[in-house]
Every structure is written in C-alpha cells, then in structure tokens.
A and B are shown apart, each in its own frame.
Chain A
Amino acid sequence: MALLQITEPGKAQDPHSKKIAIGIDLGTTNSIVAGIREGEPFALPDETGRYLLPSVVSYRQNSVVVGHEAFDLANLDPANTIISIKRLMGRALGDPVIAESNLPYKFIKRSETVPRIETSFGTVTPTEVSSEIIRKLLERSFETFEKEADGAVITVPAYFDDSQRQATKDAATLCGLQVLRLINEPTAAALAYGLDSGNEGLVAIYDLGGGTFDISLLRMEKGVFQVLATAGDAALGGDDFDAVICQWFLDSVGWEKGLTAVENRGLVLEARKAKEDLTNVETTQIIFRLEETNYRAKLTRSVLRDLLKPFLDKTLNICRKVFRDASADLDDIDNVVLVGGSTKSLIIRETVSEFFGKKSLDHIDPEKVVAIGAAIQADLLVGNKGDSEVLLLDVLPLSLGLEMMGGLAEKIIPRNTPIPANQTKEFTTHKDGQTSMKIHVVQGERDMVSDCRSLAEFELKGIPPMVAGAARVRVSFQVDADGLLSVSARELTAGIEAGVEVKPSYGLTDSEITEMLTSSFEMAEEDAILRMISEARLEAARVMEALAVALKEDAEMLDVGEVSLLEEGMRKLGELVKKGDHKAINEGIDLLSKASEEFAALRMDKAINKALAGQKINDIEQEI
C-alpha cells in the first residue's frame, strides 16, 4: 500500500511537493472524483469533459468496460453488465435487497454469504465490481495530475452499516489505493458548503441518491462540523422511483405478463428518462416495445407526484426522527442543503422546501458536492493546508449491540454516539460449568437480533468451569474514526482473551483480498517484490522522520542513554533501508517502534497536560 510522506509541520512547502489527495464519491448511479489545484477543489473530467462516471461495469470475455460504454451495454447484455452495485455492497446473498429483486445477474449459490456474480469474464463480488469503478476514477486522477494519487477520502452514505463500510474500504484497497478516511456523504457536502460560503449554525443535509437516503443534522461553528444526528434508509432512492414508474406504465398499458430481465432493464432506463424530463416539462411520454408492439403512456408531473409521494413521505418521517434524536426543532434550522442526483427533480425540491419551510442551498451541483467535500477533507488530512482549523466530528449511524439470551439485542453503543467511541460491558455465564461463550455482534435499532444486521460471531473459549453467574466476561467495542468496529472479549477471572476485527461474514477475508490483489494486478513476482521493498522503505522513512521530529522537540524527556538507544535504532534502520531487504526493513521498523513506544506515551501525556493546562490560562484571561 502506498504510504504518505511526512513533512515537518508548519514549514512552508514547495508547491510542487504537495501531495495528490482526492475525494471519491462512489454513487449508486454515478461516481465522481474530485481533486484540488492551487487550493481550489474541482471535479475531474474524463477525456471528453464529462464529470459523471456511470457506476456501471460490463464484463466482456476478455476485458472489463466501465462507465459510459458499459452503460450503453446495459440493455444489450444485462447479465454481464452490473448497474447499481452499491445496493449490494456488504450485503449477504439472502438479503431481501438481493433475494427479492428482479436482477438480471447469475448469482452463484456456492457461498451462503458473499454474493458472487457469474459473468463472461469470471466470477465477481460487489467489492470487485466497485473496485473497477474506483480504478477508472484513479485513471482520471492520473491523467489530470500526471502522478498517482497519494491517498483518497471515500464517501459512504451516513446510514451505511459496518459491513457496507468495510466492503467499500476493501474495494479501494483492491486498487492499491490508500484510504485516508471514510466519511459520510452528507458530512462531505456540508464541508463543501461550509467552506464555500462560511455558513454557520444548524444545517440539515437532505441527501437522496440513486439508491440511498440520508438526513443529517450538523452544527457548524468556527471550522468545526459536528454531526448531531443522522438517519436514513440504505435502500431508498431514485431506483425505487424508476421501479414504481415502470409498474405504473405496465398497469397503464394493461401488460400483465411480467417482464424478462432484459425488458425490465430497458423499461427502467425509459422510466428514468421520463422522470428526468418531468423536471423541465409538465408532460412526457414513455414508449416501450414489448413483443413486437410499441406501447405508450402519457406521464404527467402530477401523476409522478402521486407515485413518488409514499417514498417522499417516508423520507420526511425519517427527517422527523432525526430531529427528535438531536433534540432540535424544525425552526432551529438555519440552512437546508440538497445532495444527490435525485434532488435535481423539481418534485423533490418542492417537497423538501415545503417541509423545512426554507429554500434549500443548491448552488454547488448536487451531483458534485459530495466528491468536492471529500477532496477538501483529503487535502486537509495529508497536510497540504498546514495548520487548518477545520475538523469533522461524526457519529455512529446505527446502534451496535450483542445477542443476549432469548434472541434479544442488547445495545452497547447507541446510534448517534460521537466517534471514535468505545464501550465495555460485563456478562456472565448462564449454566454451571459453562466453558465457552458465543459473542454475536449485531447492528440496528430493533429489539430482536433477527431484525438487526449480523456483523460477526466469535467464541470465547477456555472459561474455567464455575457455577452459573460466577464468570465475568468483559466485552469491549471500539469504533474508529472511519466508523469501523473492532470487538474483543476477556474473561476476567482467568484472563482468557479473544478478539475480532469485525470483518463481517458478507465481506471478504484478508486472504481473499490478498489473493485478489495479486491476481488483479497480474503482477510478476519481481514487480511484487520491488513494490514490497519500496513500501518498506517508505514506511521506514516515515517512522524515522516521525521519531526525529519527536526527538528534536522532546529529547529532554529521556535520559541520555535512552536517546542514544533510539538514535542507534534509527541508524541501524537507515542501514537496512540501504541494503533493501524488505523483510529485514520491516523487522527493523518493528524494533524501532517498540523501542520508542514509551517515548510516544510520554509525549502524548505531555500534550494532554499542555492542552488541559492551556484551558486554565484561558479561564484566567476570560475572568479578567
């Protein structure tokens, strides 16, 4: 994986040494990549000047086609042309989104968990399909900046659960792309608007895309974007509108036979076009050929309004819920921001502004705004902006919990908790002599485990036999800044420990990813080794530079012996880097990291003390 280079903080940077940091909005219908040039964010066009990349991947016998060309194949070869893959990300094969949809793909039944689609190119998973889209966007970035991107911020719907987030991150990893951070789409949009117009106060972000709906409430002040609450529906969007228009068409023309997958795909595309037309005109016509006959039906804006109403009402109910979660009132809102392709529709804009009683902000293209916000955040994270005040504070979208006796879900971290977050809870055995305990991690708001999303299951073994209720098992949840969870469990009387990174059963295992990486790059062995050496060297340089900066600032925290020990370690690592054996370099890195751990802890403690002491000084100033 490519690693970031370090520059000393505060030092003016040579403009040519700025790192290439990009933002990627991986959408259900379209994807887009944005970057920064001379401090200005912009969406990157393809060679013909188009910004949107249709999120469509078509698998041919010997090649993979992505984007516009693939879109054109969607009708001709639906079984090998994957659209709206985002809807399948991180989902199990048995999930209703897959099981109950009339998708034209050939799913392989072999695995119960990860959906695998058989194409003329071979078997592919949703993660791999998404990675093809990312790879295409990376080509754009390379064309524009004439070098590889150093890192990316990738956006996900705020309401994505852990497995959907993990699957998205895996898709980027498959392209060898360094993911700086996953951020939520509405948060990214807020960042783009906040910095663009200096808006402060309480902002509602209404984000309706092709397949997902999110509503987030944020407080913006002094450069801090704090998400107060978020809610949504990970399976509600423009695709549903298309489907309901299709059904309306079939009812109108009296077609009762049902459609083949090919016909269905064709009609969906016609429906989408009609839906878009009705933003500019009052009436449009859908003409569709079925069994050698042209059927036609007139669709008016008012009919469409009725068709969309149940969906829009659902979004408004979710909006009410988010206000309740944030203990805020509709009147408190200072601004409403529209995000997502579906909000280009006139009917939806009218509905939203009526609900909020406010005209919404939309002067940044709703299709570009998320990628632009992501690019701004990426630029900040790699340090191109120097000491910026801007900070995003986000929350956990869905409660995390554990399965208890009787199939009940016990919430451990409730939704809308600020992240990073952790929580521990103690449990006990319910049978005499019980020596193991099943830990089943779930996500969702419902009381029953069967209604929640199952994230991971593992077993804590080796509990010493005791009477029921005597063992004490402490389960810890940790959610990082990407919103990803890891769980560990520990029996306190015997000290047995077990832990998992929550790699959901719907995701891919690390070895599967490694395997795909090797096969997808079709990398010769020599290339692979060269790559590993260069990665090890970069990592070594990063570690040494961080330590050198630390020693320069805080060497007086250590005694002379300790300092020379660290310096010796750096010297040795420097020699290993020259020799170029990646295994030896990695061992050297581990040694140096271990040796400097204590020093890092001391420095952190000092930083904390300084930060807390700083508060006192401010107080005195305030009192004066």
Chain B
Amino acid sequence: MDFGRNFFEIFNLPAAYSLDRELLRSRYMSLQKEFHPDRHILSSDTEKRLAMQFITEINSGYETLSDNLQRAIYLLELNGNKVEENPKLDNEVLLKQIEFREDLETLENRSESRKSLGSFRTEIEAQIENIQIALEQAFLADRFGVARQLVYEQQFFFKLERSLERIEENSAGI
C-alpha cells in the first residue's frame, strides 16, 4: 500500500539532511502508540492489515532517517540523484581505499595484539567523522553531486569498519 507520503512527511519533518533527533523520536513514539499491531488486536482483519502495513512503513522510515548514511541516500534519491551499486570513483579516492584495504589485510594476517587493531579503528573512525562533516556541508549547499560522492566514500569506510569488527570478534572468540 502506498501511503502517498515520503518518510519526512510521515514524521512531519523538513526534507533536509540536518535532523532534530528528539523530534523524530517523539513522533516515532506517538505514531507507535497509535498504530502498533498490539493496539489493533481487537480491530477488524482489514484494519489490522492496514495498521501493520503503516507501522512497517513507520519503522522503515525511522530506521532510514535516524541513520546518517541511509538518510543521505534517501534524500539524494528524493532529489533525483540515485545512489549506484557500483559507482565510478576518482582515482585518488580509489587509491586511498586500496591502501586502507591492504592495511586491514595485513592486520588480519598478523596475529598481533589488539592494540594495532585499536589504532586502525581510531583511524577509520576519524575518516568517517570527516566525511560526515563534509556531507552535512554539501547538503547545506544543495551540492547533491558532491554529497553522492561522499556517500560512496562513506559506504566504503562503513564496510571497512564492519570487516574490522569481524576480525575483532574472531580474535575475541565470539
């Protein structure tokens, strides 16, 4: 079912990258209190189904908007800048990514202490932080093309972070 509203409209928030998290959260909660399936146990089957579809949409909207990267992707798509699966990247960016990948592989193959993993993590986190700031500025200036490139860079670092987490989990024996 198409409720005819985008996620920003559902939560009655301006379609912008900067976000009032408190407001998003309080609206999410009040919509939950009204439409959660637990509130519709006694409704007719059709109403149950519709409420479930709407609450699914609310959940998905909340997840999308509260996540910095997903919100960026969603906003870009609303503005007609589809984020590609396999984008073309600048050589400079590609080289940087290859270096980080190599560093990770070296770390994975060496049975060294967790300390080097830790400092690598700090480095990744700093990159993510910097890209995040650049992303906010790009959206403020309506520079969607730039924002999209930044999204691609950010996606890479998130993937890298996940790989790192996996290495940490393996070494911790989870």
Contacts and interface: CB of A to CB of B under 8 A. Distances in A.
Interface in A368-407: 380-383, 389, 391-393
B33 interface: yes
A603 to B, nearest CB: 7
Contact of A420 (B12, B52, B62, B63): B52
B36 interface: yes
Contacts of B34: 607, 611
Contacts of A419: 59
A344 interface: no
Interface in A515-572: 543, 546-547, 550
Interface string A277-292: 0000000000000000
Interface string B136-174: 000000000000000000000000000001000100111
Contacts of B32: 224, 391, 393
Contact of A600 (B5, B30, B46, B172): B46
Given A317-B173, A317-B174, A596 B35 contact: no
Interface stretch (B37-45, B90-98, B104-112, B122-130): B37-45
Contacts of B83: none
B51 A604 contact: yes
Contacts of B62: 418
B131 interface: no
A546 B11 CA distance: 29
A420 to B, nearest CB: 5
A608 B10 CA distance: 9
Q: Chain B interface: which size bin?
A: 35 or more
B101 interface: no
B15 interface: no
Contact of A546 (B36, B39, B44): B44
B12 A615 contact: yes
A321 B39 CA distance: 32
Interface string A588-623: 000001001100110110011001101110010000
Given A224-B32, A324-B165, A420-B59, A380 B10 contact: no
Contact of A383 (B29, B35, B42): B42
B55 interface: yes
B77 to A, nearest CB: 15
A503 interface: no
Contact of B46 (A180, A601, A612, A616): A601
A391 B36 contact: yes
A586 to B, nearest CB: 13
Contacts of B50: 600-601, 604
A621 to B, nearest CB: 13
Contact of A421 (B5, B35, B44, B59): B59
Given A604-B51, A612-B10, A480 B37 contact: yes
Given A224-B32, A321-B174, A391 B38 contact: yes
A381 B56 contact: no
A222 interface: yes
Given A222-B29, A324-B165, A380-B38, A547 B44 contact: yes
B4 to A, nearest CB: 9
B57 to A, nearest CB: 8
A251 to B, nearest CB: 24
Contact of A611 (B9, B31, B36): B31
Given A417-B63, A418-B62, A611-B35, A550 B44 contact: yes
A600 B10 contact: no
Given A181-B38, A481-B38, A546-B44, A421 B60 contact: yes
B46 A382 contact: no
Residue of A380, A422, A615, A619 ringed by the most chain B CB atoms within 10 A: A615
A320 interface: yes
B44 A600 contact: yes
Contacts of B173: 314, 317
A616 B12 contact: yes
Interface of B: 3, 5, 9-12, 27, 29-39, 41-47, 50-52, 54-56, 59-60, 62-63, 165, 169, 172-174
Interface of A: 4, 6, 9, 180-181, 222, 224, 314, 317-318, 320-321, 324, 380-383, 389, 391-393, 417-423, 478, 480-481, 543, 546-547, 550, 593, 596-597, 600-601, 603-604, 607-608, 611-612, 614-616, 619
Closest 5 CB pairs of A and B: A600-B46, A604-B50, A481-B37, A546-B44, A418-B59
Given A314-B173, A603-B47, 13 more contacts: A4-B41, A317-B169, A317-B174, A320-B174, A381-B41, A382-B41, A391-B33, A480-B37, A481-B38, A543-B44, A546-B43, A604-B54, A614-B30
